[in-house]
Amino acid sequence: MSAGLPQHLTLDYLRALLSRGVEKTTVTEEARMVLRKWVMDARRISGSPLPASVYAKPAANETRPKQPTPEQTPPDSVDEASFGNELRDILNGVQPHRTEEDAPVPRHISFDLEGETEEEKLSSLRELVVNWPPLRNMDSLRETPVFSSGNPRADIMMVTDAPGLYEEKQGVPLAGPSGQKLDAMLKAMGLSRSDIYLTHLVKYRPALPRQLTNNRPPTDREIEISLPILREEIMLVRPKVVVALGAISARGILQSGETPLSALRGTFHTAFNTPVRVTYNPSYLLRTEDISEKRKVWEDMLCVMEQAGLPISEKQRSYFLPKK
C-alpha cells in the first residue's frame, strides 16, 4: 500500500482487509509515516496519553532510563505495537483509550409501541428512534436517523451496519454505489427492494470530527445501544431468514466477537429465534473482480432463497461459475 491514495480510500481499503480477517499488510515507509500521523492526530483529538505498552518493564538484564509520566510524554511518540493496535481501533471506530463505564444495555428491552398491526408498530418504532434517550444521549452519532425500507411482512430481512453519507442524504439504507450493487443482486434473485425488508444495525451515521464525506463503522457501544431496536424489528417483521451484510452486522447480530466473516459465512446461525445467514456487504463486491468471491456471495443468496421458499432456476444456480 502506498501513501498516494486519498485518505478515505485508504481507510476503506484497510477496513476491507480487517473485515476479511487480515491483520497485517505490506506498506511503504511513506505510507507508514502517514498512518502514524493519523494515529497521533487521533490521540491529540482525544487528549489521550501514550498507552501503557510504551512504559513496559525492561527485561532483567536490560538497563533503561526512567520513563516520563504520561503527562510528560509528547503525543508524537508511538511504539510499533501501540501503533498497530491504535490504528486498528481507529479503523473500527473506537476512540483512542476512551473508557466507557455505562451499564450494559439489556438485549430484551420492552418497547411500548402504539398500533394494532405490525406495520403500525414499526411506524411507532421508527418515531421512537428519533428521541429514544439511550441513542440520543450518545454524542458519537449524527442527528439524522435512517430507519428502514421495503416490505414489513417480507420473508427476507437484510441488515447492514450503519448509514454513511449516501444513506444520510437519501434517507434509505444502502444507497449510492453499494445500493446499486444490492439492487443488481436482488434482481438476479428475482426480487426488488420492495420484496425484502432492509434496515441498519445502527440507525444513525457514526460521527467524526469535522466530518464531511468520510464515514466510519459503528463502535461496539453504539451497536450495543442499538441492538434492542433491531431485535424489535425482527420480532415485528418475523422474516423466514435474516441476512447479515458484512462483518460488523454479523458481529452485532450474532454477538460473535472478533470471529472473522470468513468463519461465519457458509452456514446458518440463529439469533432472536430466526435463521441468520452471513455474507459480504455489497460494498465488498465493488472492490473485487474475483469471480470466486462473487460466487461465495451468490451461494449465500441461493441458500437464503431456499430458506425463504423461493423458486430457483438452473440458470440462477449457475451464476458466477467458471465457464466450461
Dihedral angle sign, alpha carbons of residues 13, 18, 22, 27: positive
Q: Using the 8-state DSSP alphabet, how is residue 54 labeled?
A: G
User: What long-range pairs does 163-171 form, CB within 8 A, spacing at least 24?
Assistant: 163/200, 163/202, 163/203, 163/204, 163/205, 164/205, 164/215, 165/205, 165/213, 165/215, 167/200, 167/205, 168/142, 168/144, 168/205, 171/144, 171/146
State how far the Cα of 160 lies from the Cα of 178, in Å rounded to an integer.
Answer: 11
pLDDT at 109: 75
pLDDT of res. 153: 96
Question: What is the distance between the alpha carbons of residues 54 and 228, in angstroms, rounded to a whole number?
Answer: 39
- Output the nine-digit C-alpha cell for 230: 433491531
Whole-number Å distance between alpha carbons of 132 and 230: 14
According to the model, what pLDDT value does residue 323 have?
Answer: 79
Instruction: Determine the pLDDT at residue 22.
Output: 62
| The predicted structure's pLDDT at residue 18 | 59
CB atoms within 10 A of CB 111: 15
Q: At 121, phi and psi to the nearest 5? A: -70, -35
Q: Which positions of the chain have pLDDT values less than 70?
A: 1-23, 38-108
Q: Tell me the per-residue pLDDT of 15-25, one tens digit each, with 9 for 90 and over.
A: 556 555 566 77
* pLDDT value of position 99: 43
Q: pTM of the prediction?
A: 0.69
Checking DSSP bridges between strand 268-271 and strand 274-279, what pairing results, if any?
antiparallel
Say if CB 125 and CB 73 are below 8 A apart: no
- Locate all alpha helices (DSSP H) within the chain, ordered by sequence: 7-19, 29-46, 80-91, 118-131, 133-136, 165-170, 176-188, 220-237, 247-254, 261-264, 282-285, 291-308, 314-317
Question: Where along the chain do its domains lie?
Answer: 7-53+69-91, 118-317
What is the CATH code of the structural domain delimited by 118-317?
3.40.470.10
Residue with cell 430457483: 312
